[in-house]
Structure 1
Amino acid sequence: MRTRAAVLWEAPGRWEVGEVELDEPRENEVLVQLAASGLCHSDDHFAKGDISVATLPFVGGHEGAGVVEAVGPGVRTLKPGDRIVTSFVPGCGRCRWCASGQQNLCDNGALMLTGSQLDGTFRMHVDGRDVGQGGCVSTFSEWSVMPEASCVKIDDDVPFQVACLVGCGVPTGWGSSVRAAGIVPGDVIIIVGTGGVGMNAVQGARYVGATRVIAVDPVPFKRELAMKMGATDAFADIEPAAELARSITNGQGADAAVVTVGVVTGQHLAQAFAAIRKGGTVVATAAGNQNETGIPVNLLELTMYQKRIQGAIYGMGSPVREIPLMIDLYKRGDLKLDELVTRTYPLEEINQGYEDMHAGLNIRGVVTFN
């Protein structure tokens, strides 16, 4: 069959919407009709060339929701008509990481950048060329074939345009505060960047009982929304946020700082490092250019103050656990998702969606399919 998809032909480059050939699902794979896909910054990193993908052309998108239309041989947990959210890490269940409850670190995560399916082959093609798929799922496409393990079934009463967000941005931000930073009741946390990921770090910190949730973002409307989503304070840059944290902790500093800016640099992490107390944690959630190295922190302070810089992917949670949890919290009214969707776009306007993201106009843009 043929499907319309947003294709990246070169990097740096722009998404071009056109038709690609799509094979039928093979063993342990399913055919999904996508209904919505979040415009996550990770896919923009591919387009900008900050992070290289191994296979071009490449159909992006990893934060999606849709309906299973057909299943291949051996599929046992899904059937046609099931509504699903995609997981860009199709956990194998057997590697060291899956066996220890760290599905987010499954060895299959390497497929996010190689573009192949689990068996090393491809399901999308154009003009005789194989087309890479983002995270095995490629949610920037009307239809996609993906592993059964890439699909997490959800209830029928959750709107697709909010359900797609729990495929990446929501649990990534939530877990950055709750799991990676280890926030507990009474803590003080600084969250640097309150877009589609950081806004959920705010929500997670509020939910577990942080006394002060200090949001930092240069965009006024993001600071305003952060206050509605659970932040107690909001600033345009980190310096006054750090001063506030020290003023309410007898000069010690924040218990943790979560960095969720668009493109992280060593300087962002150094500023966050300076803002935390002894024994505190800096969580590096935002992605940066793959060629950039170095964090300008004082090495003696790192040792003697016992501070920690912690990387985090998917909020240090497992998709098969986090996705149902986020949906449940949403249905109970403990997690705001509708407020995250600033604007929806047809697939043809995907580049406009990313331009709006860079202009600071969106918390999360969402592509919707008719």
Structure 2
Amino acid sequence: MQTRGAIVRQAPGKYEVVDLDLDDPRSDELQVKMVASGMCHSDDHIATGDIPVGVYPMAGGHEGAGIVTKAGNNSKGIKEGDHVVFSFLPSCGHCRWCAQGMQNLCDLGAGILAGPRWTDPTSYRLHLAGTDTPVGQMCGISTFLETTVVSADSAVKVPDDIPLDVACLVGCGVGTGWGSAVNSANVQPGHTVIIMGIGGIGINAVQGAAHAGASNVIAVDPVAFKREKAQELGATHAVETMEEATELAKQFTNGQGADSTIVTVGVIKSEHVGQAMGSIRKAGTCVVTALGNMTDVGVPISLADLTLSQKRLQGALFGASNPNWDILRQLQLYREGVLKLDELVTKTYKLDDIGQGYQDMHDGKNIRGVIKYDA
């Protein structure tokens, strides 16, 4: 069939909407009519070239939800008409990492930026309309498409009564931020937590820290609108700089520093990690969730402080989530009114307005922009 989607032809580049030829689903695959897609900063990293991919053109989008229109054989019980949320990280269910309850580290994830199917480097489901030119799929799903074909390993069936235009957010941003606080930082009741950067990830780290019982949740962002949103969704304090946040944390902890600091800035630099490590107490945790230029190496931290203060520097991929469990768990929390999803969506866009959506993100106008395909 033919569909429309947003692709980047090169990096640096910009998303453009084009006609595409889409193959039918094969065994273990699903065809899904998209309902909504979150506009995550990671897809912008693809356009800027901060995150290199294996092939261009590349169809973007990795945070989405839709309705299954066709199901191949062996599609894990998912059938036509089912509502699904995509996990941008697939989980096979039987590799070492899945078996140990670390689905976010599934071996299949090694191929999500390559473009073709991770099981066959020559196998594509997308081509430029009327040509033999293959088009890669971001994370094997490409949610910036009106209709897409994905592996069943990337789909989680969700209840029909949950609106997909907000459910899509748990496929990346919510789980990544919430899990960074709850799982990776192991926030406990009474903790003091700093969240550095309040975008689509940071705002959910705020929610996670508050949900875990932190007494002080300090949001840091230079944009006043984002500081206000953070306080609406659980932050007890919101400041412009890490210097202010570090001083506040020390005031709350008799000079010790934050129990944890979570780095969720839009484009990470080494100095962000240095500031975060300097803000935490002895035996505190610095969680690095943000991404930037993938070739950057080195962070300005004191090795003596790392050792003698017994601090922990912790990376976080998808907030150390197990998507087949955590996506459903987070949607249940949404049902119960504990986890806020509707409030995360600043503005919705049509697919053709994707460029404006990312411009709004760069201008600090959005917590999360969402593409709605029925708009």
TM-score w.r.t. structure 2 length?
A: 0.97
The equivalent residue for 2:79 is 79
Listed one character per residue, the Cα deviations across residues 146-180 of structure 1 (whole Å, up to 9, x for unaligned) are 01111101111111210110000001000000000
The partner residue of 1:304 within 284, 304, 308 is 308
The equivalent residue for 1:60 is 60
**3-state SS of 2:110 partner:** helix
The equivalent residue for 2:284 is 280
User: Is 1:212 equivalent to 2:212 in the alignment?
Assistant: no
Aligned-partner residue type, residue 300 of structure 2: P
The equivalent residue for 1:90 is 90
The equivalent residue for 2:170 is 166
The equivalent residue for 1:35 is 35
The equivalent residue for 1:4 is 4
Aligned-partner residue type, residue 114 of structure 2: T
Question: Are the counterparts in 2 of residues 254 and 277 from structure 1 also a CA contact under 8 Å?
Answer: yes
Listed one character per residue, the Cα deviations across residues 98-131 of structure 1 (whole Å, up to 9, x for unaligned) are 1111010111112221112243211001221111
The partner residue of 1:259 within 260, 263, 267 is 263
The equivalent residue for 1:24 is 24
The equivalent residue for 1:329 is 333
The equivalent residue for 2:228 is 224
Taking the aligned partners of 2:33 and 2:288, their CA distance within structure 1 comes to: 34
User: Is 1:351 equivalent to 2:355 in the alignment?
Assistant: yes
Taking the aligned partners of 1:59 and 1:84, their CA distance within structure 2 comes to: 20
Structure-to-structure mapping, 1:150-161, within 5 angstroms = 150-161=154-165
Question: Are the counterparts in 2 of residues 341 and 366 from structure 1 also a CA contact under 8 Å?
Answer: yes
User: Is 1:268 equivalent to 2:272 in the alignment?
Assistant: yes
**3-state SS of 1:113 partner:** coil
The equivalent residue for 1:115 is 115
TM-score w.r.t. structure 1 length?
A: 0.99
Question: Are the counterparts in 2 of residues 5 and 17 from structure 1 also a CA contact under 8 Å?
Answer: yes
Q: How big is the shift at 1:272?
A: 0.6
Taking the aligned partners of 1:91 and 1:270, their CA distance within structure 2 comes to: 33
Listed one character per residue, the Cα deviations across residues 187-232 of structure 1 (whole Å, up to 9, x for unaligned) are 1000001111111101111111101000001111111111111111
Unaligned runs of 5+ in 1: none
Question: Are the counterparts in 1 of residues 284 and 312 from structure 2 also a CA contact under 8 Å?
Answer: yes
Unaligned runs of 5+ in 2: none
The equivalent residue for 1:243 is 247
The equivalent residue for 1:149 is 153
4+ residue runs of structure 1 moved beyond 3 angstroms? none
**3-state SS of 2:20 partner:** strand
Identical amino acids, percent of aligned pairs: 54
> What is the CA RMSD across the aligned residues, in angstroms?
0.8
Aligned-partner residue type, residue 21 of structure 2: E
The equivalent residue for 1:362 is 366
Taking the aligned partners of 2:260 and 2:44, their CA distance within structure 1 comes to: 28
Taking the aligned partners of 1:191 and 1:320, their CA distance within structure 2 comes to: 26
Structure-to-structure mapping, 1:93-104, within 5 angstroms = 93-104=93-104
Question: Are the counterparts in 2 of residues 118 and 147 from structure 1 also a CA contact under 8 Å?
Answer: no
**3-state SS of 2:113 partner:** helix
Taking the aligned partners of 1:258 and 1:76, their CA distance within structure 2 comes to: 35
Taking the aligned partners of 1:103 and 1:236, their CA distance within structure 2 comes to: 35
Of the structure 1 ranges 66-75 and 326-335, higher mean CA displacement relative to structure 2 is found in: 66-75
Taking the aligned partners of 1:76 and 1:204, their CA distance within structure 2 comes to: 30
Aligned-partner residue type, residue 34 of structure 1: M
Question: Are the counterparts in 1 of residues 197 and 220 from structure 2 also a CA contact under 8 Å?
Answer: yes
User: Is 1:316 equivalent to 2:297 in the alignment?
Assistant: no
Equivalent residues, number: 370
Listed one character per residue, the Cα deviations across residues 314-343 of structure 1 (whole Å, up to 9, x for unaligned) are 000111111001100000000110010000
